[in-house]
Chains A and B, each alone.
Chain A
Amino acid sequence: GDSVTQMEGPVTLSEEAFLTINCTYTATGYPSLFWYVQYPGEGLQLLLKATKADDKGSNKGFEATYRKETTSFHLEKGSVQVSDSAVYFCALKQAGGNQAGTALIFGKGTTLSVSS
């Protein structure tokens, strides 16, 4: 079945460091890809998404490019801040609208800790 694999954490960085969190997926067809973020004490929220190959999603300085040839959707940020400390989840969703079996499929999550 479909699955998402993320790099193991935790990832510990100093402020202004470059961030990469790797995400690869296994899926049939052409799923949409997402990064969700969970800040401490809050629910998950959508950070960015891409719906087709070579699309780049971006938000709040974060970027990820849908690479079909490598089945990857790595999350990057050029300069992290303390406020970026959170758990980051990569996810995929098959097309299909309201049909059964089109739920989000998540990876295990990667904890990012940024210190000043």
Chain B
Amino acid sequence: EAGVTQFPSHSVIEKGQTVTLRCDPISGHDNLYWYRRVMGKEIKFLLHFVKESKQDESGMPNNRFLAERTGGTYSTLKVQPAELEDSGVYFCASSRTAARGKLFFGSGTQLSVL
């Protein structure tokens, strides 16, 4: 069974540019999550999809971030325009159910905004 796949693994962009991160969850996992870890800080929740619907987007920092999950399969997270403070590692995770807390994580996308 393939795991959660994220790409790119690294992205270096300049302030003001746009970046799109992609996540392919484990097949059959309806729940998909985005998290972010800024260097030296906690991994912070961004949002949660159940199939194609946003169940909880309370962690999205501002309207420069747009997440989509068309068709309930893969998801994209777009940052436009990127700011310096957006730098960090963006993790995607998926699970079959949301209740038990066992998430399967991708290896993350390291985003550097210069």
Within the complex, the shortest CB–CB distance from A93 to chain B, in Å, comes to 4
CB contacts (< 8 Å) of A109 on chain B: these are 37, 42-43
> In the complex, what distance in Å separates the CA atom of A93 from the CA atom of B98?
10
CB contacts (< 8 Å) of B69 on chain A: these are none
Within the complex, the shortest CB–CB distance from A6 to chain B, in Å, comes to 9
> In the complex, what distance in Å separates the CA atom of A76 from the CA atom of B104?
23
> In the complex, what distance in Å separates the CA atom of A42 from the CA atom of B93?
12
> In the complex, what distance in Å separates the CA atom of A81 from the CA atom of B88?
29
Complex contact A43–B106 (CB within 8 A) = yes
- Asked if B3 is at the interface of the complex by the 8 Å CB criterion, the answer is yes
Q: List the count of A-B residue pairs having beta carbons below 8 Å apart.
A: 70
Number of B residues near A (Cβ < 8 Å) is 32
- Asked if A105 meets B4 with Cβ closer than 8 Å, knowing A42-B107, A43-B105, A49-B102, the reply is no
- Asked if A106 meets B56 with Cβ closer than 8 Å, knowing A46-B103, A98-B99, the reply is no
Contact with B along A3-46 (1 / 0, CB 8 A): 01000000000000000000000000000101010100111111
B interface residues, Cβ below 8 angstroms from A = 3-4, 31, 33, 35, 37, 40-45, 48, 50, 55-56, 58-59, 91, 93, 97-108
A interface residues, Cβ below 8 angstroms from B = 4, 32, 34, 36, 38, 41-46, 49, 89, 91, 93, 96-98, 100-109
